[in-house]
Amino acid sequence: MVLEREILPFLVWLLPRVDSDGVLQLGALLLVLLIAAALLVASLFIAYLRMIIVQGPGEGFYAVAKSVATAVTKDFPNTSWRRIGAMTKLAILESLRRRVLIVFFVFALLLLFAGWFLDPASDHPARLYISFVLTSTERLMLAMAILLSTFSLPNDIKNRTIYTVMTKPVRASEVVLGRALGFCAVNSVLLLLMGVISYGFVVRGLSHTHTIDPDELEMLVDAEGGQVLSGRTSFDVGHRHDLTLGPDGIGRTGRRMDHEHQVWVEGEGENRRYRVGPPEGALVARVPIYGSLQFMDRTGRPGEGISVGKEWTYRQYIEGGSLASGVWTFRGLDQRQFPDYIPLEMNLSVFRTYKADIVSPVAGTITLKNPTTGLTSEALPFGAQEFVVYTHPIPRALKAVTAEGTLIDVDLFEDLVDQQGDLEVWIGCSDAAQYFGMAQPDVYIRGQEGSFAWNFAKAYLGIWLQMIIITFFGVMFSTFLTGAVAMFATAIVYTVGLFREFILKLVGGELDGGGPLEALLRIVFQKNVQIDLDMGPVIDRAVPVFDQLLLFFLWVAAIVFPDFSEFNTSRFVAYGFNISGNMLLQHFLVTVAFVIGLSIYGYFFLKTREIAA
């Protein structure tokens, strides 16, 4: 699974630090405080400018100061949760009157017909099914959150039903919180129902079995002299498996389409039957243990990986048939966690310079090294295919190469893992003129197995947090904008947050083609991004200035708005990786920060708006 941004430990993410390159990272807490301070100053300045126009400098300053003082000394401290509860109840009843349950029936209808279009015989059916249900749920729920949150207050103001609320002893903060919490409650119930149905849809859609024809089984002798049965299962759901049954009548199938089956024998003589269990290995939640990555060049010295001409620089490549290798250092390994073997898994990219045979794996080697003593194991061969997860159990008993070049018997933890629990894993490519592409998360040790059901639920928690942020944005915008404009503004917030990384690269000049206006002109007049715009001196000077202004506003929006792409954890579930509680805690704190900030802004906007003429 691609993991372009490292998931930092909670305290490292929260507090300031100096990274490995010597660059000071502010940390989430200090960054939020700086953004909050900047927004506070900018908001007070804009409010003062507005009041200068309306009331003049002196009266304007007094009006702004009085508004802030009233909020801090009266409204915020005296906010009543009972009145917020009443506002929440009204928002829930309003949502039900607007027939929000239609969204749930649309989702159920979508799943009902999805089986016609989702191919369970694809190479990765679990990814297909999980990505579909999570993506469709996210899009429907966020659209529902935008529609509910942005039209409620403007409609009440337009229909003058807000008068019956504002004439009561209800504060603006209670109206804002009550509306947002009510819409969140309704959407949470819908999301829960969608999650339960989605889980059943995925499990049922991937459930299948095979049969075994005894006439197709062949008796073989294994390496220990025992008799085993070898054959194939029936062809079902677009695939079949190779299988091996041991002398005890128990065996497993080969891995196909990200899963395998247990096989066993029941009965004796004429009642002898071969059984195939349900699929295993597709719906998993791996808990990976990552290591740090360093590259060795083709001479075996520390260096960098090479480029094979691909624009995406996430992975670097090592040359086959040379001393080039990728070295992962795993720390804190404990033999109590891995008493029998270390389950090493890798997901490498394969770049072939000749493609006469694209089916056979490209040969590689795994070498283990003690980082303290330098003792190195005998090279363990393996075969890699493009983005196919390869599992290699590293046994306790291994052969190691001494300084004299002789092989000796060693124990994995006693001889190759040092006293601090560190181990180096060297990955090399054996086939000349072929290349392995690798990034730091591509090789990992598979730790304890998590629960897929709980992992699936955590993905829905990510959608739930996005829904809360979108709802509070919608309610905040609806306090001073019309329904349609508030909906459009909330949609822009979500779009900017979804493409935050792209916007930051655009602002940083990492992308060719210039800013928004220059890119538009290049598209219209069909000009290549690698050549000058060359549309006359006036346009050539004016376009960059206009683009810099646009890029500044885009940069501010990308910094202030939430990064919704980070909240989307569906790729973890689809690829079978556990969503760490550390990541969920970070997302939760980000959500709390936005809820607090948006509630304050919503209060001031509603407080200062002239509801009645």
Same domain, 270 and 319: no
What is the extent of the structural domain holding 252? 214-276
The residue out of 276, 306, 328 marking a domain boundary is 276
pLDDT of residue 612: 42
- Say if residue 486's pLDDT is above 90: yes
- Say if residue 444's pLDDT is above 90: yes
Give a yes or no: residue 299 inside a domain: yes
Amino acid at 588: F
Q: What is the pLDDT of residues 260-270, one digit of tens each?
A: 999 999 888 77
Q: What is the pLDDT of residues 268-288, one digit of tens each?
A: 877 888 899 999 988 999 999
- Say if residue 567's pLDDT is above 70: yes
- Say if residue 228's pLDDT is above 50: yes
Same domain, 120 and 231: no
- Say if residue 473's pLDDT is above 90: yes
Average pLDDT (141-165) is: 84
Q: What is the pLDDT of residues 238-259, one digit of tens each?
A: 899 998 888 888 899 988 888 9
pLDDT, greater one: 226 or 173: 173
The residue out of 395, 415, 446 marking a domain boundary is 446
Give a yes or no: residue 282 inside a domain: no
Same domain, 139 and 196: yes
- In the chain, the percentage of residues whose pLDDT exceeds 70 is 97
pLDDT, greater one: 120 or 322: 322
Q: Are 434 and 320 in contact (CB under 8 A)?
A: yes
Same domain, 328 and 418: yes
Cβ neighbors of 106 (< 8 A, separation 6 or more) are 140
Same domain, 225 and 250: yes
Residue 453: pLDDT band with limits 50, 70, 90:
very high
- Say if residue 610's pLDDT is above 60: no
Q: What is the pLDDT of residues 388-414, one digit of tens each?
A: 788 899 999 999 988 788 889 999 999
- Say if residue 613's pLDDT is above 70: no
Give a yes or no: residue 200 inside a domain: yes
Same domain, 195 and 234: no
pLDDT of residue 218: 87
Same domain, 259 and 134: no
- Say if residue 518's pLDDT is above 50: yes
H/E element, 362: strand 362-369
- Say if residue 290's pLDDT is above 80: yes
What dihedral do alpha carbons 244, 246, 248, 252 form, nearest 10°?
-40
Q: Give the separation between CA 87 and CA 335, rounded to whole angstroms.
A: 57
Give a yes or no: residue 131 inside a domain: yes
Same domain, 311 and 435: yes
Same domain, 435 and 458: no
pLDDT of residue 114: 79
- Say if residue 198's pLDDT is above 90: yes
The residue out of 431, 446, 461 marking a domain boundary is 446
Angle at 471 between CA 95 and CA 479, to 5 degrees: 90
Same domain, 71 and 88: no
Same domain, 238 and 301: no
Give a yes or no: residue 11 inside a domain: yes
Q: What is the pLDDT of residues 525-565, one digit of tens each?
A: 888 887 888 888 888 889 889 999 999 999 999 999 999 99
Cβ neighbors of 385 (< 8 A, separation 6 or more) are 350, 361, 362
Give a yes or no: residue 334 inside a domain: yes
**Tell me, what CATH number does 303's domain have?**
2.60.120
Q: For residue 266, what is the DSSP state? A: E
Average pLDDT (190-218) is: 90
pLDDT, greater one: 587 or 4: 587
Distances in whole angstroms, Cα of residue 579 to Cα of each of 242, 457, 570, 574, 586: 32, 10, 9, 11, 12
Q: Structural domain tally of the chain?
A: 4
- Say if residue 566's pLDDT is above 80: yes
Cβ neighbors of 440 (< 8 A, separation 6 or more) are 3, 6, 290, 291, 292, 293, 328
Give a yes or no: residue 392 inside a domain: yes
Average pLDDT (45-57) is: 87
Same domain, 440 and 458: no
- Say if residue 4's pLDDT is above 80: no
Give a yes or no: residue 283 inside a domain: no
Average pLDDT, the chain: 88
- Say if residue 165's pLDDT is above 80: no
